[in-house]
Structure 1
Amino acid sequence: MTEKGAEKPAASPRRRKPKAEAAPPPPKPRLGRVAATWLLRGFGGVAAFYALLILLFSFVPPPVNLYQLGEIWRLGGIDKDWVAYEEIAPVMGRSAVAAEDANFCGHWGFDMTAIRRAIEDGSTRGASTITQQVAKNVFLWHGRSWLRKAMEAVLTPAVELVWSKQRILEVYLNVVEFDEGVFGVQAAAQHYFGVDAKDLSALQAARLAAVLPDPKGRSASEPTSFVRSRTRAIISGAETIAADGRSACFEG
Structure 2
Amino acid sequence: MAGNRSLGKMAATALLLAFAALLLYLFGLFVMVLWLSVRDPGSSAFMRATLSELRASDPDAEIKYRWVPYENISDHLKRAVVASEDANFLDHYGVEWEAIRKAWEYNRRQAERGASRMRGGSTITQQLAKNLFLSGSRSYVRKAQELVLTYMIETVMSKRRILELYLNVAQWGTNVFGAEAAARHYYKTGADRLGAQQAARLASMLPRPAYYDEHGNTAYLNSRTSTIRKRMQLVEIPE
Shorter-normalised TM range:
0.7 to 0.9
Please say if residues 208 and 220 of structure 1, whose CA atoms lie closer than 8 Å, have aligned partners that are also in contact.
no
Give the equivalent residue in structure 1 for 2:204: 210
Give the alignment of 1:187-198 within 5 angstroms: 187-198=181-192
Rounded Cα–Cα distance in structure 2 between residues aligned with 1:233 and 1:205: 12
Q: Residues 153-190 of structure 1: CA distance to partner in whole angstroms, max 9, x if unpaired? A: 11111111111111111111111110001000100000
Rounded Cα–Cα distance in structure 1 between residues aligned with 2:66 and 2:101: 37
Kindly state the Cα deviation for residue 83 of structure 1 after the two structures are TM-superposed.
0.6
Q: Residues 29-65 of structure 1: CA distance to partner in whole angstroms, max 9, x if unpaired? A: 8211221221122111101101101111001112222
Among 137, 144, 154, which residue is 2:138 paired with?
Answer: 144
Name which of structure 1's ranges 133-142 and 184-193 shifts more when overlaid on structure 2.
Answer: 133-142
Name which of structure 1's ranges 211-220 and 105-114 shifts more when overlaid on structure 2.
Answer: 211-220
Rounded Cα–Cα distance in structure 1 between residues aligned with 2:222 and 2:209: 15
One-letter amino acid of the structure 2 residue matched with residue 205 of structure 1: A
TM-score, with structure 2 as normaliser: 0.86
Give the equivalent residue in structure 2 for 1:18: none
One-letter amino acid of the structure 2 residue matched with residue 94 of structure 1: R
Among 69, 82, 89, which residue is 1:104 paired with?
Answer: 89
Please say if residues 211 and 220 of structure 1, whose CA atoms lie closer than 8 Å, have aligned partners that are also in contact.
no
Rounded Cα–Cα distance in structure 2 between residues aligned with 1:74 and 1:156: 26
Does residue 1:82 correspond to 2:67, yes or no?
Answer: yes
Give the equivalent residue in structure 2 for 1:38: 17
Among 127, 146, 156, which residue is 2:150 paired with?
Answer: 156
SS in 2 for 1:223: coil
Q: What's the C-alpha RMSD, in Å, of the aligned pairs?
A: 1.9
Work out which structure has the larger RCO, using CA pairs closer than 8 Å and 6 or more positions apart in sequence: 2
Please say if residues 100 and 126 of structure 1, whose CA atoms lie closer than 8 Å, have aligned partners that are also in contact.
no
Does residue 1:229 correspond to 2:223, yes or no?
Answer: yes
Among 76, 81, 85, which residue is 1:91 paired with?
Answer: 76
Q: Residues 195-251 of structure 1: CA distance to partner in whole angstroms, max 9, x if unpaired? A: 00000000111111011110011149931121111111111111122xxxxx15x12
Please say if residues 173 and 184 of structure 1, whose CA atoms lie closer than 8 Å, have aligned partners that are also in contact.
yes
For structure 1, the residue ranges without an aligned partner over 5 or more in a row are 1-26, 242-246
Kindly state the Cα deviation for residue 70 of structure 1 after the two structures are TM-superposed.
2.1
One-letter amino acid of the structure 2 residue matched with residue 208 of structure 1: L
Distance 1:92 1:127, change over 3 A: same
Please say if residues 89 and 198 of structure 1, whose CA atoms lie closer than 8 Å, have aligned partners that are also in contact.
yes
Percent identity, aligned pairs only, is: 39
Rounded Cα–Cα distance in structure 2 between residues aligned with 1:122 and 1:159: 27
Runs of 4+ in 1 over 3 A off after TM superposition: 219-222
Give the equivalent residue in structure 1 for 2:114: none
SS in 2 for 1:70: helix
One-letter amino acid of the structure 2 residue matched with residue 230 of structure 1: R
One-letter amino acid of the structure 2 residue matched with residue 113 of structure 1: E
Rounded Cα–Cα distance in structure 2 between residues aligned with 1:220 and 1:130: 24
Q: Residues 86-143 of structure 1: CA distance to partner in whole angstroms, max 9, x if unpaired? A: 1000111100010111111111111233223224434572311100000111121111
Please say if residues 83 and 228 of structure 2, whose CA atoms lie closer than 8 Å, have aligned partners that are also in contact.
yes
Does residue 1:54 correspond to 2:48, yes or no?
Answer: no
Aligned length: 219
Structure number with the higher helix fraction is 2
Give the equivalent residue in structure 1 for 2:101: 116
One-letter amino acid of the structure 2 residue matched with residue 61 of structure 1: D
Larger radius of gyration: 1
Rounded Cα–Cα distance in structure 1 between residues aligned with 2:13 and 2:41: 36
